[in-house]
Amino acid sequence: THFGFKSVPESMKETLVGQVFSNVASKYDVMNDAMSLGIHRLWKDHFIRAMAPGPGTKLLDVAGGTGDIAMRFLNYCKEIHGDNSAQVTLLDINPHMLNVGKKRFSMTPYEKTSQVTFEVGNAEDLSSIPSNSYDAYTISFGIRNCTRIDRVLDEAYRVLRPGGRFMCLEFGNVQNPAIAPLYKMYSFQIIPVIGQLVAADRDSYQYLVESIQQFPSQDRFAEMVKNAGFTVVGDGWENLTFGIAAIHSGFKL
């Protein structure tokens, strides 16, 4: 059966998204590589370089999933600054995804440090986290899955300290007329088939494609970031790979 996400009421979205990520948790990393031909790794590397965290940065990685951003963040701080004092809290609504992340960190030197902590939580309600308590907030391929984007942004603003930075990596809209139809074909024809072949789960990847279509375009999302109170530089976003993905960023000043 097809989830038919376009027609689900808002109140059900969270439940359905929960099912999707519980279904895919163990296959999540290999699926990302299969669907993006490995390109998501380059986007995430670029995302961390664009963030350029300084030594001792305290990061909240929301919808952190299996830890791609958290891991790159700590590696960057170590490799660039020789810094072992940076800290990341990996927060996700889905304990299955977090468990995959925990397992992955358990095989690294970070395990026995206090540099990484895990927390189950909802991006739309971070009430367990004090205001003004983080230097940086990241959300990578996560905000699209949330029901109320405005609440996510308000909470991001609240938990950041003044001067703190919000950064979001998310799928975008492809404007280039030569690329757009190809990308559309790949999304609708190929991705669900890869989902079926690699994860035996066509529906979850059908959901993925639909959720990408429905997410606001880069300029609209930048408006939402500004409406939450953030100060942006220039347009407020950077396109990656023809706008298939984009990085939005804003400062709490």
Q: Which residue is nearest to ligand SAM (CB)?
A: 65
- Rank residues 81 and 151 by Cβ distance to ligand SAM and give the closer one: 151
Q: Which of 59, 86, 97, 174 binds ligand SAM (CB under 6 A)?
A: 97
From 122, 173, 206, 218, residue interacting with ligand SAM (rule: CB under 6 A): 122
* Dihedral sign of CA atoms 11, 224, 214, 118 in order: negative
Residues numbered 69-88 forming contacts with ligand SAM, rule: CB under 6 A: 69
| Residue of 14, 3, 7, 245 lying closest to 148 (CA atoms) | 14
Q: Which is nearer to ligand SAM, 94 or 187 (CB)?
A: 94
User: Under the criterion CB under 6 A, does residue 172 sit at the interface with ligand SAM?
Assistant: no
Between 65 and 250, CB nearer to ligand SAM: 65
Is 206 near ligand SAM (CB under 6 A)?
no
Integer Cα distance of 28 and 30 in angstroms: 6
Task: Work out the number of other CB atoms within 10 angstroms of the CB of residue 96.
Answer: 18
CB 158 within 8 A of CB 128: no
Residue 160 CB-density burial (10 A; 0-12 exposed, 13-18 middle, 19+ buried): buried
Residue 116 phi/psi, 5-degree rounding, is -130, 135
Query: Among 5, 21, 105, 230, which residue sits at the site for ligand SAM (rule: CB under 6 A)?
Result: 21
Of 64, 164, 243, 250, the one binding ligand SAM (CB under 6 A) is: 64
One of 48, 74, 93, 126 touching ligand SAM (CB under 6 A): 93
By the rule CB under 6 A, 17 interacts with ligand SAM: yes
Piece in contact with ligand SAM (CB under 6 A), picked from 2-10, 64-72, 190-198, 230-238: 64-72
- Mark the segment that binds ligand SAM (CB under 6 A) among 79-87, 116-124, 182-190, 235-243: 116-124
Contact status: 89 vs ligand SAM (CB under 6 A): no
Regarding 145 and contact with ligand SAM (CB under 6 A), the answer is yes
| 24 is a site residue for ligand SAM (CB under 6 A) | no
DSSP string across 138-203: EEES-GGG-S-HHHHHHHHHHHEEEEEEEEEEEE-----TTTHHHHHHIIIIIHHHHHHHHHS-HH
Contact call for residue 137 and ligand SAM (CB under 6 A): no
* 124 contacts ligand SAM (rule: CB under 6 A): yes
Binding flag, residue 140, ligand SAM (CB under 6 A):
yes
Q: 27-31: which pairs have CB atoms within 8 A and are 24 or more residues apart?
A: 27/198, 27/199, 27/201, 28/65, 28/66, 28/97, 28/100, 29/66, 29/68, 29/100, 30/198, 31/194, 31/195, 31/198, 31/199, 31/205
Distance between CA 58 and CA 164 in Å, rounded?
A: 10
User: Which chain residues interact with ligand SAM by CB under 6 A?
Assistant: 17, 21, 62-65, 68-69, 92-94, 97, 122-124, 140-142, 145-146
